[in-house]
Amino acid sequence: MNKIKFATAWLGGCSGCHMSFLDLDEKLLELANKIELVYSPIADVKEFPEGVDVTLVEGAVANLDNLHLAQQIRARSRRVVSFGDCAVTGNVPSLRNTLGVDDLLTAVYQEGPGRHPVGGGEILPRLLPKVLPLHQVIQVDAFLPGCPPDTERIWAAVSALLADEPLLLEPARRTFG
């Protein structure tokens, strides 16, 4: 059997959604037979590969690195899932949206000695003026809400995706938080 090319990515989030994914526990052993993990923060491939079947994206779009990765993911994945509340709504990272980016940077770093970091060069990505949910920057095929989504939700979603079926969450599993 051909293994499904599976990826997970991490934009502006807390990694809690990935932790909930790892909470699948022994189901991960089962999953290892069905998927090839081609890209993930827990794996070492540095460049998002071509021809991915399913990608779960945790986190909101907060800086230019996030934005570029999101676009790459879209171009190279057949199905993209907005994984968790940060990706779906912006959630906690978007709480900074009421503040201007420059004011924020100054306020956070002003106290330390030394020059404060400025994004925009080769290394530190520029922060976007507003933190955005994933579907505002790329088209998303399915939404998996929750902060984080619990393992039942994740398993229901992963099972559907691996079977190439549409992801239909029952109403009780469409909650936030």
Looking at 13-21, 41-49, 108-116, 118-126, which segment touches ligand SF4 (CB under 6 A)?
Answer: 13-21
First to last CA, the chain: 37
75 binds, among other proteins, ligand SF4, none (CB under 5 to 8 A by kind): none
- Whether 144 contacts 83, CB under 8 Å: yes
Which listed residue (25, 139, 170, 172) binds other proteins by CB under 8 A? 25
Residues 59-78 that bind other proteins (CB under 8 A): 59, 62-63, 65-66
Binding mask 50-89 for ligand SF4 (x = CB under 6 A): --------xx------------------------xxx---
Interatomic CA distance for residues 53 and 106, integer angstroms: 42
67 secondary structure, DSSP code: H
DSSP H or E stretch at residue 131: strand 127-132
